[in-house]
Amino acid sequence: MINISQNRRARRQGLEINIAPLIDMVFILLIFFLVTTSFVRETGVEVERPAAASAVAQEKASLLIAVTRDNQVVIEGRPVDVRAVRIHVERALAENPEGGIVIVADRSSNTGRAIAVLDACRLAGAHDIALAAGEATAE
CA distance 67 to 69: 7
Q: Where are the domains of the chain?
A: 4-36, 51-135
Is it true that domain 51-135 has CATH number 3.30.499.10? Answer: no
Give the Å distances, CA to CA, from 108 to 1, 17, 74: 95, 64, 16
pLDDT in tens, 35-75: 887 666 666 666 666 666 556 666 666 788 889 889 899 98
**Residue 102's pLDDT is what?**
87
CB 65 within 8 A of CB 117: yes
CB 136 within 8 A of CB 55: yes
pLDDT in tens, 88-117: 999 988 888 888 888 888 888 888 888 999
CA distance 101 to 43: 12
- Please provide the DSSP assignment of 67-85 as one string: E-TT--EEETTEEE-GGGH
Output the furthest CA–CA distance in the chain (Å, rounded): 99
